[in-house]
Amino acid sequence: MPTTLQWTEYLIEDVPELRDALLENERDNSGFEDHLFFGEIADWASHEYVADNCSPKLDRLLANLERGFSDGDAYRRNLIATSFIENLTWRSPLLATLGPEMTKAARGIYPASFE
């Protein structure tokens, strides 16, 4: 199984628009800080959704995160749940666009959002 940084680099290959944010994260933190970076991804995704809710970039990101969540170990699932899903906030329209496994996690975090 790839390390978190290796998996993140695979993610960046599919969503190269996030590369600058990754480099900034590494520079600002003297190395890769995965939880901070995935919070930044949530912010990017929210802005991307507002700009274009049919964005292919956003679709690629969410598909990769769903695969990473479904296939990942407990650490990766926790990383995506606590640093991506939680940073979306309970009112985010992106919650309705998550894949099935991430939706299950989101229901546990924000149950009122799914009533």
pLDDT for 53: 84
Convert the pLDDT of each residue in 31-73 to its tens digit. 999 999 999 999 999 999 999 988 999 999 999 999 999 999 9
Residues, the chain: 115
Whether 2 shows a pLDDT value over 90: the answer reads no
Convert the pLDDT of each residue in 88-107 to its tens digit. 999 999 999 999 999 999 99
Q: How many CA atoms lie within 13 A of 16 on its CB side?
A: 1
What does residue 41 show for φ and ψ, rounded to 5 degrees? -65, -40
Three-class secondary structure of residue 89 per DSSP: coil
95 vs 107: CA distance, rounded Å: 9
Structure tokens at 33: 């800080």
3 vs 17: CA distance, rounded Å: 21
Helices then strands (H, E): number in the chain?
Answer: 7, 0
pLDDT for 115: 83
Of residues 63 and 115, more confidence is placed in: 63
User: Which of 54, 32, 23, 58 has the alpha carbon at shortest distance from 44?
Assistant: 58
Is the separation of the CB atoms in 85 and 106 below 8 Å? yes
The DSSP secondary-structure symbol of 52 reads -
